[in-house]
Structure 1
Amino acid sequence: MNTVEDRPSDFNLGDRDFQFLASFLSRETGIILSDHKRQMVSGRLVKRLRALGLRDFGDYCAMLDGPRARDEIEHLVNAITTNITNFFREPHHFDHLRHMVLEPRMTEAPRRRKLRIWSAGCSSGQEPYSIAMTIADTLKPAEAWDALILATDIDTNVLKRGAEGIYTAEDTAHIPETYRKRFVRRLHNDPDHMQMADEVKRLIRFKRLNLHEPWPMKGPFDAIFCRNVAIYFDKPTQRALFNRYCDMLTMGGMLYLGHAESLIGMNDRFEVSDKTVYRRIR
């Protein structure tokens, strides 16, 4: 009898298997895979098929349709998701955060100095570290504040990188020079890589979270960053997601979206505060 190793491999992703994978991901994560992404999906999953000793995508789909599915979902999502991010990407958001969220809090009585911000879809951590640097530079004295950033993503690989806080010198070039001098440390044993300072690392908690599932945290948050995430969902899923975000925000709290995303016509519980920034009003 031939073993898996003896049989010829066929890594062609046909219609039936692609539709199964698209339905599976939509059901489990809310991510929508349009047909033009078939080649990307095929290319990224070939390594998983080889690692599992599977002959073809039919075998892989059969596994996802069985009791081993729970163990494979994390690997599947890690392979499929795209993580493109930079420090201080869309810099107007961080100016808005400073002037419209952080600075107004400076006059509050000490007993109210609690700040909670959520970076949803944080990728490898550049966004939450950009938020943390903005907080550390604005809220003074820092020790007078109970400030915390929740950084979540569905991809465990990028979360690990974010928690380590180590980036290439090219990555950190996007950080403003004054922040770079204060919050970035060169590694002694690796001059090509930098590490984020403890001052900002201690403000962030990295956690895995599937936005399509129940959320364990209760909030409320003063601001939520969810940039370039909703574009992977269909309109009904987007509407439900934005409504859940609204429930998690304080009244007047801010929701920051990506440059290609909008709440206009999607949710009447927000008003426009700035370019792709929305304030909860009800």
Structure 2
Amino acid sequence: MTPRRRSDIVFEESDFQRIAAFAKSEYGLHLEPSKKAMIHSRLGKRIAALNLNGFAEYDKYLKANIEAESEHFISALTTNVTNFYREKHHFEQLQADVLPKLIERARSGGRVRLWSAGCSSGPEPYSLAGSVILLCPEAPMLNIRILATDIDPFVLRRAEAAVYSDEEAKIPPGVWADQVFEKAGGKRTEFRVRSDVHSLVSFRRLNINGPWPMSGLFDVIMCRNMAIYFDSQTQQTLWRRLAEQLVPGGMLFIGHSERVSGPATALVEAAGVTAYRKRSAS
């Protein structure tokens, strides 16, 4: 059988509607019509690899093999753009104003939990861990843990490997690099995350719009540049759920183009640039 070429696969409006409806019902993803070319290209490549006859056949294949195929489907529809210490001002605020109090609590025997929601290939949670280690070298011996979640299992496997290329490991100037990577002499083409930094982070697959199995609350949640994939109602539901998952006084950091809206505004207050603090119960 001659392998199909991606360019031969027709993408009709009805195909887009089927894909968009499935992405919304299963994962809460809101696919704008402006994404049609991207969807055609990325899923067309997958359809060609499976040697299927088109999007209608892929729709049937996807629903019949949802557990195995969902990995490829999600990976094709989302863009994993991330960097170490991205939006540096958040980490500066954490190191100056948020983490010192949490570390003091941990040193007194208390529990500290941070969550990187939509962690992609790992730079965000490892940046969090590097900031913790900078202020508290003994953090792996204390009750401080970072949960890192994403829906895409491919990027989670990359994150757990904790090895990054020269391009991926670019970090803002300053002391940031030494907070995350092992030191090595000479020119490097690969950068490995320090073992103490790695030990603070646990990676889990999670559909942010599905059930959350976590039983405890968090002191810090980073959920940045994820809500842009959702419609307004789904965003508002997400903000509320995140706010409810914070301890009183806990911090929520979101993406530079995002704003908390809806019922969550009664639960959190602005506390910096795209940073929010959980209000104390009155």
Would the alpha carbon gap of residues 89 and 109 (structure 1) be closer, same or farther in structure 2, given more than 3 Å must change?
Answer: closer
Which shows bigger deviation, 3-12 or 138-147?
3-12
Does residue 23 (structure 1) correspond to residue 21 (structure 2)? The answer is yes
2:278 is matched with: 280
Q: Which amino acid aligns with 1:56?
A: G
Unaligned ranges ≥5, structure 2? none
1:130 is matched with: 127
2:251 is matched with: 254
Which shows bigger deviation, 47-56 or 82-91?
47-56
1:195 is matched with: 192
Which shows bigger deviation, 135-144 or 194-203?
135-144
1:212 is matched with: 209
**Aligned-residue offset at 1:6:** 9.3
Q: Distance in 1 between matches of 2:210 and 2:154?
A: 19
Mapped contact 1:114–1:146 kept (Cα < 8 A) = yes
Q: Distance in 2 between matches of 1:265 and 1:218?
A: 24
1:1-282 paired onto structure 2 within 5 Å: 10-64=8-62, 66-108=63-105, 110-142=107-139, 145-181=142-178, 183-185=180-182, 191-264=188-261, 267=264, 268-281=266-279, 282=281
CA-based RMSD: 2.5
Q: Distance in 1 between matches of 2:35 and 2:240?
A: 28
Which shows bigger deviation, 237-246 or 31-40?
237-246
Q: Which amino acid aligns with 1:84?
A: V
Would the alpha carbon gap of residues 9 and 107 (structure 1) be closer, same or farther in structure 2, given more than 3 Å must change?
Answer: closer
Q: Distance in 1 between matches of 2:23 and 2:212?
A: 18
Q: Distance in 2 between matches of 1:22 and 1:97?
A: 37
Q: Which amino acid aligns with 1:159?
A: L
**Aligned-residue offset at 1:72:** 1.7
Q: Distance in 2 between matches of 1:7 and 1:121?
A: 32
Q: Deviations over 1:66-100 (max 9, x none)?
A: 43233322210012110111111111101111222
Mapped contact 2:83–2:170 kept (Cα < 8 A) = no
Mapped contact 1:218–1:248 kept (Cα < 8 A) = no
Percent identity, aligned pairs only, is 39
Q: Distance in 2 between matches of 1:6 and 1:261?
A: 40
**Aligned-residue offset at 1:53:** 1.7
Would the alpha carbon gap of residues 251 and 259 (structure 1) be closer, same or farther in structure 2, given more than 3 Å must change?
Answer: same
Which shows bigger deviation, 217-226 or 190-199?
190-199
Would the alpha carbon gap of residues 106 and 194 (structure 1) be closer, same or farther in structure 2, given more than 3 Å must change?
Answer: closer
TM-score after normalising by structure 2: 0.90
